[in-house]
A and B are shown apart, each in its own frame.
Chain A
Amino acid sequence: MFLLKLLFRNAFRHRVRTLLTILGITVAILAFGLLQTVVSAWYAGVNASSSTRLVTRNAVSLVFSLPIAYQERIRRIEGVSSVSYANWFGGVYITEKNFFPNFAVDAKSYLDLYPEFVLPPDEKRAFQLDRKGCVIGKKLAERFGWKRGDSIPLKGTIFPGNWEFVVRGIYSGVDTSTDESQFFFHWDYLNETLRKTIARRADQTGVYIIGLKNPQAASEVSLAVDATFKNSLAETLTETEKAFQLSFVSMTEAIVVAIRIVSFVVIIIIMVVVANTMAMTARERIGEYAIFKAMGFQAHHIAGMVFGESLFITAAGGGIGILLTFPVARTFGEVMGNFFPVFQVDRSTLYMDLVFCLIVGIIAGIFPTWRAIRIKVADGLRRIG
């Protein structure tokens, strides 16, 4: 009790210095938390994606499509439970700034492969019955205030023209890691239009999505699919959805690595700042520590005082930082929602915060403690007066 009282009062002896140090730790923990969350938001698509689904694309590049006739041949492959397909549409709502992902999908089969998109059965039926119908994520609906029955015009970029869709369903994610900002419509609608306008681009799709009977068989099925189309006009590359997503994300991996490094550098900087504060403090108090020692206090008592104060300061700053991380991340996520459909603080980030506070507190206390313990009482007393 007495020690705690002493720690607390010592910590606030230089009120401004201590408050600034605490503020520094708060900002550092906050910055670390946000940067870590940006990184995990980056990988959110990967983490949310399933390893029980396979994605088949053109072996040359994703920009080349695959014949729609492949669906039947894939379905017959051993281990495949269902096949659907999707085509990146790249439509724009009014302006480029309103970006959201939109896909032309096989309305009959697509949603069955994605149980994480939760949609009431009647909405699903309504979607399947309306050739111009679309299904949108809850977040997307909130963003533009879209409701069921609304008519939504998209300007085609890859597929020229003005396209009109009617909202037939709004899905919500099965949990917070599900992307609720996507937009799906009938591939048939796209294809019929293409047949009339650009016939050579009709009857094609970007990717096939394959459901597996047994997730353990992912690599065998992948090999079997790719073997089926070996030496055909469009050879395929099949991989798990996770691997597929990862190949997107890793295009910009260097940036993510940089962000990660910066987040750790922030922690190192604050460690130096706290260590400096503690060193200053201990230097000023060398005489006091000598008095404690003269009275019979020992090294472990002194160590308790210095480490206690150092840990108290880091705990205060870290605690405030952790508490602030949530509202700040929420605001940040709202502002950046278009870039990061899923933006939430990982529990592992909080654990890292706690571990870093502990490490910073301990490292900052080591040198001053060592000095305070090592100084001879008589020498310490001579510093006074």
Chain B
Amino acid sequence: MIMPASGEQQIMVAVNAVSKAYRRGNQPIPVLEGISFQIARGEFLALMGPSGSGKSTLLNLIAGIDTVDSGSIVIDGVDIATLDESELARWRASNVGFIFQFYNLIPVLNAFENVELPLLLTTLSRRERRQHVEAALDVVSLSDRREHYPSQLSGGQQQRVAIARAIVTDPAILVADEPTGDLDRVSAGEILELMGRLNAEQGKTIIMVTHDPRAAEKAHIIRQLDKGLLNDVPA
């Protein structure tokens, strides 16, 4: 079902003439108006723009947790609009890792268990799951905090656990919505450094929404979203 991308293009994400409006009462509020762009495999892209410009909306569409009004989004050769709800859920489970502004760990699960969550949807054995979780926690340098609950971790540590959770299934794409938005400068620096490493060493395609210029510097490409339209900004 999931076709491999054709070798020469190496296009990971193709956004084609995507429009999206929300409805408030009878009034449609256009958020994205005919947006098109592509993201190459292994790219690290920063989406910037003023608050309310539709960055999160666009990111959600690419991540397959929201649906376009018109246009299409093709990821690694799959037009995700053609997938039904449960196909889409399975597609997300194996292709997309999520990193949120507020980490969004499950408070009743410790670091290890939080990272293990996405693996419960796979056919891996318990032992294999443990190996994967340990490897992921190792990448984010939190192996020694595996028994800690989210409330026992700092914001930066929680975000690193969230990143471990995002990469534990080895998805090709990471989407991050303001991943440093709630962090102090030092922690934010660590998170950005970590994401840079995931991009450089593991070849993850990363799409990061941010309005922090320092965060954007980490990216190869910055795109500005303003009033539903996209502008290129050279990195």
- Chain A residues close to B by CB (< 8 Å): 2, 5-6, 9-10, 13, 287-288, 291-299, 376-378, 381-382, 384-385
Contact B104 A378 (CB under 8 A): no
The CA-CA distance from A9 to B107 in the complex, in Å, is: 10
Given A377-B66, A385-B101, the answer on whether A293 and B89 have CB atoms closer than 8 Å is yes
Contact of A298 among B56, B86, B118 (CB under 8 A): B86
Choice from A9, A296, A298, A382 contacting B108 with Cβ under 8 Å: A9
Known A6-B108, A9-B109, A288-B106; contact A296-B121, beta-carbon cutoff 8 A: yes
- Are the CB atoms of B86 and A376 closer together than 8 Å? no
A295 touches B65 (CB 8 A): no
A-B interface, 8 closest residue pairs, ranked by CB to CB distance from nearest: A296-B93, A9-B108, A377-B65, A378-B66, A378-B60, A385-B102, A296-B92, A296-B89
What total count of A-B pairs have CB within 8 Å? 68
Task: Find chain A residues with CB under 8 A from B92 CB.
Answer: 294-296
Q: Are B109 and A376 in contact (CB under 8 A)?
A: no
The one of B100, B108, B120 in contact with A13, judged by C-beta atoms closer than 8 angstroms, is: B108
Q: Mark B86-103, 1 if CB is under 8 A from A, else 0.
A: 100111111000101110
Q: Scan B50-88; emit 1 where CB is below 8 A from any A CB, else 0.
A: 000000110010010110000000000000000001100
Contacts of A376 in B (CB 8 A): 65-66
CA distance A293 to B93 in the complex (A): 9
Q: Which residue of B lies closest to A379 (CB)?
A: B66
Known: A2-B116, A288-B106. A296 touches B90 (CB 8 A): yes
How distant is the Cα of A157 from the Cα of B121 in the complex, in angstroms? 80
- Closest Cβ of chain B to A254, distance in Å, is 51
Residues on the B chain within 8 Å of A9, using CB: 108-109
Contacts A6-B109, A10-B108, A296-B90; A378 near B65 (Cβ below 8 A): yes
Distance in angstroms from B51 CB to nearest chain A CB is 13
Residue of B nearest to A3 (CB): B120
Interface majority SS (helix, strand, loop, mixed), chain A: helix
**Nearest Cβ on chain B to A86's Cβ, whole angstroms:** 68
Residues in chain A near residue B113, CB distance under 8 A? 2, 5
Kindly list chain B residues whose C-beta atoms are within 8 Å of the C-beta of A382: 56
CB distance from B96 to the nearest CB of A (A): 8
Question: Which residues of chain B have C-beta atoms less than 8 A from A13's C-beta?
Answer: 107-108
Verify if B221 is at the interface (C-beta below 8 Å from A). Answer: no
Q: Which residues in B have their C-beta under 8 angstroms from that of A297?
A: 89, 121
For A287, list chain B residues within 8 Å (CB): 104
* Residues of chain B lying within 8 A (CB to CB) of residue A385: 101-102, 182
Distance A61 CA – B35 CA, assembled complex (angstroms): 95
Give 1 or 0 for each of B17-54: 1 = CB within 8 Å of chain A CB: 00000000000000000000000000000000000000
CA distance A377 to B65 in the complex (A): 6
Residue from the list B104, B107, B117, B165 in contact with A384, Cβ < 8 A: B104
Tell me which of A5, A6, A291 contacts B104 (CB under 8 A): A291
Q: List 23 A-B contacts (CB under 8 A).
A: A2-B113, A2-B116, A2-B120, A9-B108, A10-B108, A287-B104, A288-B106, A291-B104, A293-B65, A294-B98, A295-B118, A296-B89, A297-B89, A297-B121, A298-B85, A298-B89, A378-B65, A382-B56, A384-B100, A384-B102, A384-B104, A385-B102, A385-B182
Residue of B nearest to A382 (CB): B56
Contacts of B94 in A (CB 8 A): 296
Chain B residue with minimal CB distance to A295?
B118
Q: Please, how many angstroms separate the alpha-carbon atoms of A377 and B66 in the complex?
A: 7
Task: Give the Cβ gap from A372 to chain B, nearest Cβ, in Å.
Answer: 14
Using CB atoms, name the residue of chain B closest to A7. Answer: B108
Contacts of B182 in A (CB 8 A): 385
For the complex, what is the distance from the CA of A193 to the CA of B57, rounded to whole Å? 102
A298→B94 CA distance, assembly (Å): 14
A367 to chain B, nearest CB (A): 21
A138 to B60, CA, bound (A): 78
Separation in Å of the B173 CB from the closest CB of chain A?
13
Pairwise interchain contact B106-A291, C-beta atoms closer than 8 A: yes
Question: Which residues of chain A come closer than 8 Å to B60, judged between CB atoms?
Answer: 377-378, 381
Choose one: B102, B104, B107, B118; the contact of A296 (CB below 8 Å).
Answer: B118
Residue of A nearest to B175 (CB): A294
For B121, list chain A residues within 8 Å (CB): 295-297
* B105 → A minimal CB distance (Å): 9
Question: In whole angstroms, how far apart are the Cα atoms of A306 and B107 in the complex?
Answer: 16
Given contacts A2-B116, A2-B120, A376-B66, contact A295 B106 (CB under 8 A): no
Cα(A298)–Cα(B85), bound, Å: 9
> In the complex, which residues of chain A have a beta carbon less than 8 angstroms from the beta carbon of B165?
295
B residues in contact with A381, CB < 8 Å:
60, 65, 100, 104
List the B side residues contacting A2 at CB < 8 Å: 113, 116, 120
Identify which of A6, A287, A288, A294 gathers the most chain B CB atoms within 10 Å of its CB: A294
| Beyond A295-B98, A297-B89, 11 extra complex contacts between A and B, CB < 8 Å | A2-B120, A6-B106, A13-B107, A294-B63, A294-B65, A294-B98, A295-B92, A296-B91, A377-B65, A378-B57, A384-B104
